[in-house]
Amino acid sequence: MTQPALDLSPLVSDEIRRTTCYMCACRCGIDVHLKDGKVRYVEGNRDHPVNRGVLCAKGSAGIMQHLAPSRLRAPLRRTGPRGSGEFQEISWDEALTLATSWLKPLRDTAPEKLAFFTGRDQSQSFTGYWAQAYGTPNYAAHGGFCSVNMAAAGIYTMGGAFWEFGQPDWDRTKLFMIFGVAEDHDSNPIKMGLGKLKKRGARVIGVNPVRSGYNAIADDWVAITPGTDGLFILALVHELMKAGKIDLDYLARWTNAPVLIDCDPKSPRHGLLLRDEAGKDLVIDTRTGKPTAFDRKGVRPDLGGKLRARGITHVTVFQRMAERYLSPDYSPEAIAERTGIPAEKTRRIAAELADVAFNRAIEIEREWTDFRGETHKTMTGRPVSFHAMRGISAHSNGFQTARALHMLQILLGAVETPGGFRFKPPYPKPATAHPRPHSNVTPGKPLDGPHLGYPQGPDDLCLTPDGQPARIDKAFTWENPMSAHGLMHMVISNAHAGDPYRIDTLLLYMANMSWNSSMNTGGVIDMLTDTDESGDYLIPRIIYSDAYSSEMVAYADLILPDTTYLERHDCISLLDRPICEADAAADAIRWPVVDPDRPGHPGVRGFQSVLCDLGHRLGLPGFVADDGSPKFKDYADYIVNHQRRPGIGPLMGWRGENADSHGRGAPNPDQLDRYIENGGFAIAHIPEDAQFMKPWNKAYQDWAVGIGLYDAPQPYIFQLYVEPLRRFQLAAEGHGHRQPPEHLRERIKVTLDPLPIWYPALEDGHADPVEFPVHALTQRPMAMYHSWGGQNAWLRQIHGHNPLYVPTDIWKANQFSDGDWAKVTSPHGTITVPVAYMAALNPNTVWTWNAIGKRKGTWALDQDAPEATRGFLLNHLIHELLPARGDGLRWSNSDPVTGQAAWFDLRVKIEKVPAPTQSHPVLPPIASPVGQGGARVIPKATP
């Protein structure tokens, strides 16, 4: 029979434009195919260092995000009451004049009354720069409710953390353990890495209460009880130390394990590290038996060194570690019940780690020279690697748990060695090389320095002269001294309470605070709409920028509509959250592959360009040229011409007069064109001899200086013992001029321990574990992880509603069956939701997909969309404060070290109820400024 003739070579597109994806936070390279000037198809960029051509479900669905009917179309001024969704479209000039009229008088009198917080912000080095020029201390991005425990624990311990800071050595690792990673952070690189491991026959162990996604393909699964990861890790440490299966040479050379501790209990320096006159950490040199600076040429530090002085024997960090972790409190048997992990399993995993690290070590022939001047012929690899994310960090013990995990990596000698965990530039970078926080306000002037940083002790806290919090979120206070990313989740609550003071204007960027980005969603809505006795809102003014008709839009007074990601300039900068690889520095841009197009409306502008304009209108230093004109006509102009230090700007590629320098160099007016020609990114490879042992490797340090990551070599040793934590403990013990309030002393003594510890989730001390026996978690599905687009026409067909998944015993005890509903109650609230059965769970854990549920009237969805009728948020069950326990104090539901929101400490009880018509609570619908429903755009041109 005859077959039809097919055109096997149809024209795919007229043009491919290469830019950076923004469907989540991974920042993959994409090829955007255009036909007749319209976006037609999106696929991965094969040359791009992040994704090498692959693309996830979100990335491929980006076309539906770009064409979504929920896109905002014009600046909006609120006309109805807050929360009504009633707005009037206004011109950009009206909008910017109005914003200036609000912000200018504040800057001249009380700049702290502007609180500027950004959510899904990939331009934090720019937004922070703007906020610093404005002069408010109240700036941060969303890290405080995301994963600051992970970032802070990593940076304080080893000068880098997971994800953007480093990655497993996917090509060499033989055993990979992944803790608390739902389906996210980061998306494509983890999937690509897992694929590589599987193809090489490497082993994968997943530690997670929920066996979905990555844990589904793990060779072994540890169904841990939420919040007990730290205990499990310390039991692994216990077993490895007891058996001597730790890398002693690595510990002696590259960590502060051999550094001596001041052991004089009467000293105000008790527990701090001993130092010489030059301030260098002291070790005992095994060659001489004498104390010496740790970094002297040829010194061989003694892990068991002792120094006897004035009747006191000072011992090493390693000695203290042995005393703590050899304790039977950390034996596999001792932790089995709490963690839900049989002792035999813990012991077996410890044995696997030891086997791979020491019996299957690898050695690569690469000569290198360390900071002590010693040259090594080879590099020894411990091919064990780890990755972890929110599952361990979003607990009130998350900082110490993440610290424990880094300690385990270091004990195995598996950081920066081949096969282990590898840093990505600009990391390694120790906490001491980061800024310290600044909060000193002078009306009409910039802030005295960068907002966020890494405190080294009580002197770095952001307190006013009378000891009160300087920041509206109370970051860098005794409640959470090391809150390196701020506490976005406390801003609205504190501003509403006027605690520590009242603000005037809240400026938010891409942060859905009246919905899934807040704990206590209903409460936050009340705070945003609450008025004083004269009828004025307690938070007087709210300016919000978003590209879409999200739930937060209705609660703002002025909307500055942002573009879609295909219509904008951005830089993925080394000054910010870069996209480097372990073997290379890399950065990237977004550029308008199509122009913003909102026919019949005033249109949209990139938020960063709007800030450039506002910065000029407000007369902010750095935004006004010498002749009084705007210094930057838009964000693209800033990206090319701003210099943070001479020769160092937002983008590293093609700098200098000859446009031939990666790293340092004068601004190049054609820089963006060069990026576009190169596929949207720049890459600078690290020389072979500099690719491992980076914190100590002279070749890496010199390369990093050359490219502008540092201005001078800064080798350092890993901080198994984090001395800044001890400084806060000392204050709590009564030493020093800055003293914590009485009610926090004991907590600081316990939780700010300089060596990793485990303690139960703080909520367990407030919510009765007997009354609320079930742990409740959320995770984002891979097809929507970190995505600003649950409304996406294609993705919502994959994840359009979210049941609560219930494990076997609870399912049976409640006699649930398919289609049933349950009432879920926490100490804070109740929701009524559909349930579904899942066997592959920790027996005391329920969970659901996060951020599927939508408010009626938002996101241009019909009001009867399943997201708005059956979809739900667990957020209603979580409070930003812990339940009251009769002591008259407000205890924040956050990690006591960093302030990270403790989402995953949630405890609930669950009972079957008759099926209602929709999930509860039911909130009233919001009017949509962009309409609702309708058909989707078909990209294919009709013939």
Partner 1 sequence: MTQLPTHTDKKLGLVIDLDICVGCHACVVACKGWNDQGYGAPLSDQDPYGSNPAGTFLNRVHSYEITQENGPAQVVHFPKSCLHCDDAPCVTVCPTGASYKRSEDGIVLVNEDACIGCGLCAWACPYGAREMDQAAGIMKKCTLCVDRIYNENLPEIDREPACVRTCPTGARAFGDLSDPDSAVSRSVAERGGFDLMPELGTKPINQYLPPRAKGLGQDIDVLAPLLDIQPEPTGIVGWLDKLLGKP
Looking only at residues 283 through 342 of this chain, which bind partner 1 when binding is defined by CB under 8 A? 302-304, 318-319, 322-323, 326
The verdict on 795 binding partner 1 (CB under 8 A) reads yes
Whether the bond into 430 is cis, omega within 30 of 0: no
Determine the Cα–Cα distance for residues 643 and 717; give it in Å rounded to an integer: 31
If the CB atoms of residues 199 and 377 are measured against partner 1, the closer one turns out to be 199
Q: Does 219 bind partner 1 (CB under 8 A)?
A: yes
Question: Comparing C-alpha atoms, which of 405, 460, 924 is closest to residue 738?
Answer: 460
Q: Quick one: tokens of 454?
A: 């890494």
* 187 near partner 1, rule: CB under 8 A: yes
Tokens found for residue 866: 């399943």
Window contacting partner 1 (CB under 8 A); options: 289-297, 538-546, 727-735, 794-802: 794-802
40 touching partner 1, by CB under 8 A: yes
Of the candidate residues 102, 358, 501, 710, the single one contacting partner 1 (CB under 8 A): 358
Residues from 51 through 110 that contact partner 1 (CB under 8 A): 51, 53-61, 63, 69
Applying CB under 8 A, the span of 344-352, 572-580, 602-610, 617-625 interacting with partner 1 comes to: 344-352
Helices (H), 457-604: 488-497, 521-529
For partner 1, which residue of 139, 214, 565, 635 counts as binding (CB under 8 A)?
A: 214
Residues 6+ apart with CB under 8 A from 822: 804, 806, 814, 816, 832, 833, 835, 910, 911, 912, 913
Provide the token pair at 144.
């405080």
Structure tokens at 428: 């390694």
Give 458 or 866: the residue with its C-beta nearer to partner 1. Answer: 866
Residues 138-177 within binding reach of partner 1 (CB under 8 A): none
Q: Report the candidate in 337, 306, 310, 301 with the shortest Cα–Cα distance to residue 320.
A: 306
Contact call for residue 834 and partner 1 (CB under 8 A): no
36 binds partner 1 (CB under 8 A): no
Provide the residue count of the chain: 943
Dist CA 86 CA 339 (whole Å): 50
Give residues 690-749 in contact with partner 1 (rule: CB under 8 A): none
Nearer to partner 1, 54 or 709 (CB): 54
Helix (H) or strand (E) holding 78: strand 76-78
Only one of the segments 97-105, 214-222, 473-481, 538-546 lies at the binding site for partner 1 (rule: CB under 8 A); that segment is 214-222
Interacting residue with partner 1 among 376, 862, 883, 927 (CB under 8 A): 862
Tokens, residue 922: 């039911």
Is residue 194 a contact residue for partner 1 (CB under 8 A)? yes
CA dihedral (889, 890, 896, 897) in degrees, to 10, reads -110
Q: Is 11 in the site for partner 1 (CB under 8 A)?
A: yes
* Interface with partner 1 (CB under 8 A), residue from 84, 94, 104, 203: 203
Taking the complex as a whole, the smallest distance from the CB of residue 800 to partner 1 amounts, in Å, to: 6
Does 45 engage in binding with partner 1 (CB under 8 A)? Answer: no
N-term to C-term CA, the chain: 29
- If the CB atoms of residues 425 and 781 are measured against partner 1, the closer one turns out to be 781
**Which listed range, 82-90, 507-515, 617-625, 792-800, lies at the site for partner 1 (CB under 8 A)?**
792-800
Under a CB-based contact definition with an 8 Å cutoff, are residues 350 and 239 in contact? yes
CB of 183 to partner 1, least distance (A): 7
Beta-strand pair 570-572/584-590: antiparallel
Query: How many CB atoms within 10 Å of residue 422?
Result: 27
Shortest distance (Å) from residue 247 CB to partner 1: 12
Q: Alpha carbon 913 to chain centroid distance?
A: 37
According to the binding rule CB under 8 A, does residue 343 interact with partner 1?
no
| Residues in a beta bridge with 846 | 776
If one asks whether residue 18 binds partner 1 (CB under 8 A), the answer comes out as: no
Rounded-to-integer distance, Cα 364 and Cα 207, Å: 30
The residue among 99 and 259 lying less far from partner 1, judged by its C-beta, is 259
Residue with Cβ nearer partner 1 (245 or 438):
245
Nearer to partner 1, 832 or 869 (CB): 869
Question: Exactly one of 178, 182, 223, 441 binds partner 1 (CB under 8 A); which one?
Answer: 223
Segment contacting partner 1 by CB under 8 A, of 407-415, 650-658, 736-744, 787-795: 787-795
Peptide bond into 428 cis (omega under 30): yes
Residue 362 touches partner 1, criterion: CB under 8 A: no
CA distances (Å), origin 735, targets 37, 267, 281, 464, 731: 68, 10, 22, 20, 5
Closest approach of partner 1 to the CB of residue 797, in Å = 5
Which lies closer to partner 1 via its Cβ, residue 316 or residue 505?
A: 316
Distance CA 712, CA 730 (A): 32
> Which residue's CB is nearer to partner 1, number 215 or number 848?
215
Q: What is the C-alpha separation between 661 and 639, in angstroms, rounded?
A: 16
Using CB under 8 A, pick the residue from 12, 497, 625, 922 that binds partner 1. 12
Q: Which of 278, 712, 770, 938 binds partner 1 (CB under 8 A)?
A: 938
Alpha helices in 412-497 (DSSP H): 488-497
Q: Which is nearer to partner 1, 110 or 362 (CB)?
A: 362
d(CA 482, CA 695): 23
CB of 608 to partner 1, least distance (A): 28
Q: Does 441 bind partner 1 (CB under 8 A)?
A: no
Please give the size of the binding site for partner 1, defined by CB under 8 A. Answer: 103
Among 77, 280, 338, 348, binds partner 1 (CB under 8 A): 348
Stretch in the footprint of partner 1 (CB under 8 A) among 499-507, 811-819, 898-906, 929-937: 929-937
| CA 367 and chain centroid, separation | 36
Report yes or no: 322 and 243 within 8 Å, Cβ to Cβ: no
Question: Closest approach of Cβ 870 to partner 1, in Å?
Answer: 10
- Dist. CA 679–CA 676, nearest whole Å: 5
Report phi then psi at 831, rounded to 5.
-130, 155
If one asks whether residue 484 binds partner 1 (CB under 8 A), the answer comes out as no
CB closer to partner 1, 57 vs 513: 57
The CA distance from 233 to 252, in Å, is 22
When the beta carbons of 229 and 504 are compared against partner 1, the nearer one is 229
Query: Could you please report the per-residue DSSP string of 719-758?
Result: -SS-HHHHHHHHHHTT-SSS---HHHHHHHHHHS-SS---
C-alpha angle with apex 437: 433 to 438, nearest 5 degrees? 130
By the rule CB under 8 A, 3 interacts with partner 1 = yes
Q: Environment class of residue 12 by beta-carbon count within 10 Å: exposed (0-12), middle (13-18) or buried (19+)?
A: exposed
- Residue in 81, 105, 171, 216 binding partner 1, rule: CB under 8 A: 216
The answer to the question of residue 1 lying near partner 1 (CB under 8 A) is yes
Nearer to partner 1, 160 or 332 (CB): 332
Tokens of 180: 């608390």
Stretch of 535-543, 616-624, 694-702, 793-801 lying at the interface with partner 1 (CB under 8 A): 793-801
The answer to whether 604 and 73 are in contact (CB under 8 A) is yes
State the DSSP H helix or E strand holding residue 175, giving kind and residue range, or none if neither: strand 175-179
CB 251, min distance to partner 1, A: 11
What Cα–Cα distance (Å) separates residue 134 from each residue in 223, 449, 537, 607, 617? 48, 12, 24, 16, 12
Asked if residue 221 binds partner 1 (CB under 8 A), the reply is: yes
Q: Which of 47, 94, 355, 637 binds partner 1 (CB under 8 A)?
A: 355
Q: Which stretch binds partner 1 (CB under 8 A): 35-43, 402-410, 493-501, 809-817?
A: 35-43
Q: From the list 690, 865, 882, 902, which residue makes contact with partner 1 (rule: CB under 8 A)?
A: 865
